Structure 1
């Protein structure tokens, strides 16, 4: 069997659709579909049951998926063993994190890591969607929730707390909201049209705004699709926003308002595949983050 077809098959089985697998592999949906059909013809066995809403593996498909997964895990272990021949951690480490954690927590600390590990090359991908670690879309991830997959190792780093902030200029112009019922008279800056599942509670302030009915509301919701945009809009005095406390601490011009209204909290985890358990690159990155997060509170 052709390995390229098997690799595409594994991506489709993991993603549950040709479209999502194509996005992961940077291939068109039709190209992925053709490769799967060619593989099924090659082995004269249907691997998927096709439905209008997606795909499910046949019994034969489940058997092949387990075999390919085992091969991928063994290849990853062999790759790490080869890289670990040297004493010092070296080579490329692809790290994924959310925009907020990556920009405001990780990036300011990377120089310390690279000083400790001068032969380590960091490739940082900041996306609020979760990259697939089993598909090697990244080596390690910093996530705002614990993983559910059994083959992933996790380590809690710290907890992020959100509260409501505004600038003094905004408060002077529009008054200071003291309780949730005051929100309809204010501009609330929210996260995108809909927040991704990984950070869905980050739009709690917008949800609170919608639940507070007022006869003649003067306020509105302004949505921006990343944390940096939300922060900058708040700093310019556009409105009030839910901001992580550790980010607000870097901007003394931000004033916490509605102190009696609790915001959400997220436990931040370092996550990596079990196949990388012995990786010196991952171990160096993990140990550095654990030291940086120790006794860190916001």
Structure 2
């Protein structure tokens, strides 16, 4: 079982990284050795598991069927190790958390710093991406998302709601044409996401407001807000970002107020892990408290 399980870990790494070199980096192993181990594993399974393409290694139908079972075995091994190590008041090891960059920049640093202080042997990695995090490839152990996924064997828990408003810098408002109603917005430049790179319909704020042109655009929330702070245009911003940018002011509060939600998404099988469950509980409470605290300051 030993060599077979070792080779299954190699299989999982290649499936997630889609290349021998990528798997080698994860496993700290030479790509040629990864290739030999995959060949040995396919021979043991009596089936080819990958198709080699110009882009790398892609799972074939047999590999797809095996993947879910391999991940179940992986989680069972982790749970077994936790059971043997016994209960502990503090968490240890590594947990990788994916999140949209607004949450990652303005909420998670405070939350994760507090969790790290309570659990000094725990390594927390925050993956801030301008797209969804692929949990099936184990880009992260869990992810904070804006939309709740509806497919896959995933556990989805709503964390909290958060508010967004239209904002502009004090300098912009001093020099620009007055903004008293929605009709006035047509005379002002807007900042937002790059329209054809919006990865979640919940982020398409400007379309919801009927805005047709995005004069300044970025895939990053923090870049958008910094553009607004420069005084060049208007921006839809999370209320929890505003305490970090005191030069920004909400406008048309009574006419434009958006509500979105954060969800925590992880593999269903991870529910068997006390360590993951405890981190998830601490993370959700931390995010709820931090969003509430920051929004109260605006």
**TM-score for both structures, normalised by structure 1:** 0.73
Give the match for residue 104 of structure 1. 106
Whether 1:253 and 2:255 are equivalent positions in the alignment is no
1:117-156 equivalences under 5 Å are 117-156=119-158
Decide whether aligned partners of structure 1 residues 96 and 50 sit closer, same or farther in structure 2, where only a CA change above 3 A counts. closer
Q: C-alpha separation between the residues in 2 aligned to 1:63 and 1:195?
A: 32
Superposed displacement of residue 75, structure 1: 2.8
Q: C-alpha separation between the residues in 2 aligned to 1:82 and 1:225?
A: 44
Give the match for residue 217 of structure 2. 223
Moved >6 Å (runs of 4+): 1-5, 11-15, 21-27, 34-37, 48-52
Q: C-alpha separation between the residues in 2 aligned to 1:89 and 1:50?
A: 40
Runs of 5+ in structure 2 lacking a partner? none
Give the match for residue 174 of structure 2. 172
The superposition leaves residues 93-135 of structure 1 with CA deviations (integer Å, 9 ceiling, x where unpaired) of 2222111101111112333222322332222221132333344
Give the match for residue 162 of structure 1. 164
Q: C-alpha separation between the residues in 1 aligned to 2:113 and 2:134?
A: 26
Give the match for residue 215 of structure 1. none
CA contact (8 A) 2:168 2:249 kept: yes
Decide whether aligned partners of structure 1 residues 238 and 72 sit closer, same or farther in structure 2, where only a CA change above 3 A counts. same
The superposition leaves residues 112-159 of structure 1 with CA deviations (integer Å, 9 ceiling, x where unpaired) of 222322332222221132333344322222221223345322321111
RMSD: 4.1
CA contact (8 A) 1:91 1:281 kept: no
CA contact (8 A) 1:160 1:244 kept: yes
Runs of 5+ in structure 1 lacking a partner? 213-219
Q: C-alpha separation between the residues in 1 aligned to 2:251 and 2:23?
A: 42
